[in-house]
Amino acid sequence: MLLPTQRKNIFLCSMNFSRDISYVFCIFLIVFIKDANAQLSDTIKTDRPQKGEGLYSFFLRHELSISEDLDSFFKLNEGKFGADSCLLAHHEYVIPCKSVMLYEPLYGKEREKYTLDSDEMKGSVFYLVSGHGGPDPGAIGKFVDGDLHEDEYAYDITLRLAKRLTENGAKVHMIIKDKDDGIRDERILQYDNHETCGDEKIPLDQVARLKQRTQKVNDLYKLDTEAYRRCVILHLDSRSKKKRIDVFFYHYKESKNGQKLAHALQAVFDSKYSEHQPSRGYSGTVSERNLFVLREMTPVCVFAELGNIQNYGDQKRFVIYENRQALANWMYEGLRDDFFRSKKK
């Protein structure tokens, strides 16, 4: 932060440009974009001050705000200022990027407004499907604090993944939605049956349920035009309490790109386990499955099982929200790697 005396010197320096202007406030517009696919330019903008131009008029010309952008401007251009922090005509000054804000109410009140961090995933579309939902809670694990419902944890991790993708310029369709929950940091995620498939009620019958979400993905796929379109399905497995398992992946046997996507995800998890738990190792696998959703989905699709909801060791992967975020982050990195690979073709 600038000291009060520094701000005073800056103001006095700028007074040389125009004695008729005692103080100029620039309007800093924060745009909440409901379409969470707006992109940031990857070009760094620089400019030199015009003849006789002081700091405040420079800010005015570049639509910068003294209250919002002054500190970052000085950090970006350290060492480029004259006496009393005046601008120097022979220097190029980096212009602080305007923050593009996104809006997605599904993420919850505390997270519905967030910053677009990059456009590295520009040109990608993801159809994210969290397992079960509505009248079907999926598997239920017994934990010391209460019951763990598969659909609630799969949904929370899927939301976190969606946010990471949209923060970096991807277009995301949440296929299963719960307008009440949002991203939650509690250990025990309260069960409800409010989830919908798009805006439609989820049927109890399993076949009808799978057909509904598959059709929803395929309908959206027809409307999208991006070259890179991928479907990601997230579930929690249910096995013996003694069986601890690492995250593993399925793809449809006829899908070569699905296989590549699954291996890209697996490679990230293997790398992260080597970094964070080198003594434990990673045993997550990639295999073919003839599951209905993998077979009938139009886009390239991968199915991820995130752990055993019955095993105490795996349960800590779910009840600690930082671990849920880590799962989403690592999934994001794998999807990003696959996207970059596809662009090199």
| Domain coordinates in residue numbering, the chain | 4-94, 118-343
What average pLDDT does the segment 152-164 reach? Answer: 98
Nearest to 300 by CA among 259, 267, 263, 333: 259
Positive or negative: CA dihedral 293, 223, 196, 148: positive
State residue 185's pLDDT score: 98
Residue 317 has pLDDT above 70, yes or no: yes
Query: What is the model's pLDDT at position 10?
Result: 44
Strand partners, 46: 94
What is the edge-to-edge ordering of all strands in the sheet holding 300-308? 171-174, 124-130, 228-237, 300-308, 248-251, 286-288
Q: Percentage of residues in the chain with pLDDT exceeding 70?
A: 88
- Look at residue 230 in the predicted model and tell me its pLDDT: 98
Residue 316 Cα to chain centre, angstroms: 22
Which of 226, 229, 175 lies closest to 198, judged by CA?
Answer: 175
Render pLDDT for 28-46 as a digit per residue (tens, 0 to 9): 222 333 333 333 334 478 9
pLDDT of residue 96: 86
pLDDT at 69: 86
Indicate the pLDDT class of residue 14, thresholds 50, 70 and 90: very low
pLDDT digits 0-9 by tens, 185-216:
999 999 999 999 999 999 999 999 999 999 99
| Contact partners, residue 65, CB within 8 Å, separation at least 6 | 25, 26, 27, 28, 59
CA angle, residues 310, 311, 317, in degrees to nearest 5: 105
Per DSSP, the three-state class of 188 is coil
Which listed CATH number (2.40.50.140, 2.60.120.10, 3.40.630.40, 1.10.3720.10) goes with 118-343?
3.40.630.40
Q: Of 259, 272, 261, 282, nearest to 334 (Cα)?
A: 261
Q: What is the pTM of this model?
A: 0.76
Residue 58 pLDDT more than 60?
Answer: yes
Task: Give residue 11's pLDDT.
Answer: 37
φ/ψ of 160, rounded to 5, equals -65, -40
- Which distant-in-sequence residues (6+ apart) come within 8 Å of 150 by Cβ? 131, 132, 137, 138, 139, 140, 141, 235, 236, 238, 309
For position 266, what pLDDT does the model report? 98
When pLDDT is cut at 50, 70 and 90, the band that residue 155 belongs to is: very high
Half-sphere exposure of 290 (CA within 13 A, CB side): 0
What the block records as the tokens of 288 is 């073919």
Pairing of strands 140-143, 146-149: antiparallel
Distance in angstroms (rounded) separating the CA atoms of residues 340 and 326:
21
- Report the 10 Å Cβ neighbour count for 155: 27
| Least confident window among 13-17, 28-32, 57-61 | 28-32
Strand partners, 142: 147
Q: How many Cα atoms occupy the beta-carbon half-sphere of 159 within 13 Å?
A: 25
Distance of alpha carbon 179 from alpha carbon 216, whole angstroms = 18
Q: What value, to the nearest 5°, has the Cα angle with vertex 232 and ends 228 and 233?
A: 160
pLDDT at position 183 is 98
- CA dist 79 and 85 (Å) reads 10
